[in-house]
Amino acid sequence: LSTIAFTACFAVWMIFSIIGLSIREQLGLSQSEFGLLVAMPVLSGSLTRLVLGIWTEQYGGRLVFTAQMLLTAGAVWLLTYAHTYPMFLLAALGVGLAGGSFAIGVAYVSRWFPKDSQGTALGVFGMGNVGAAVTKFLAPFVMVAYGWEAVAHVWAIGLAIMAIVFFVFAKDDPTFA
């Protein structure tokens, strides 16, 4: 379940790789502005890993992973309400929370396995990086048919559903059970 949640998060984290060009065209962004917009989720995702990792140690992976997915889903949904460059940058910061899921998942998954099995377990969890391919494969179809806003809506709804499924079916870390 953690791998599927990470896949969903990674798919959301890479959303600008597909919808970014439409947003650039819509706003008439320069190359520098576009570069900053596309980099914003990667930057915030990388920086939030420290905080999310600490919170996972304090409150447990089930709770933190669920909260992170719900907050990220909200940020993705809000993308469609952004009409100015600063608003898109702010929403992109929130989308970056999806990248912080790596720290949550590693801490969460590691607690379930003895040290001699953690490499395999974390390798399986890390396969969630396939979410980037999911976005690159599926998002163009949605975007061509319904527009970039539909991609944001579908990805936000998908991530919110994943958060609920994770909260209901995942177990608390052994140290928090």
Task: Give me the pLDDT at residue 173, please.
Answer: 82
Please give the Cα distance from 111 to 122 (Å, whole number): 11
| Residue 114, phi then psi, degrees to nearest 5 | -65, 160
CATH code for the domain defined by 2-169? 1.20.1250.20
Task: Give me the pLDDT at residue 177, please.
Answer: 60
What pLDDT, in 10s, does the model give residues 98-115? 999 999 999 999 998 989
Would you kindly state where each structural domain of the chain is located, as residue ranges?
A: 2-169
Written as six digits, the tokens of 102 are 């790596």
Task: Give me the pLDDT at residue 174, please.
Answer: 78
| Residue 176, phi then psi, degrees to nearest 5 | -110, -5
Of 12, 10, 92, whose CA–CA distance to 44 is shortest?
Answer: 92
Taking a C-beta distance cutoff of 8 angstroms, is the pair 61, 105 a contact?
yes
b (16+ CB within 10 A) / e for 57-89: eeebbbbbbbbbbbbbbebbbbbbebeebeebe
Which mean pLDDT values do the consecutive 10-residue runs of the chain (177 residues) have?
96 95 96 96 95 95 97 96 95 96 94 91 92 95 97 98 97 79
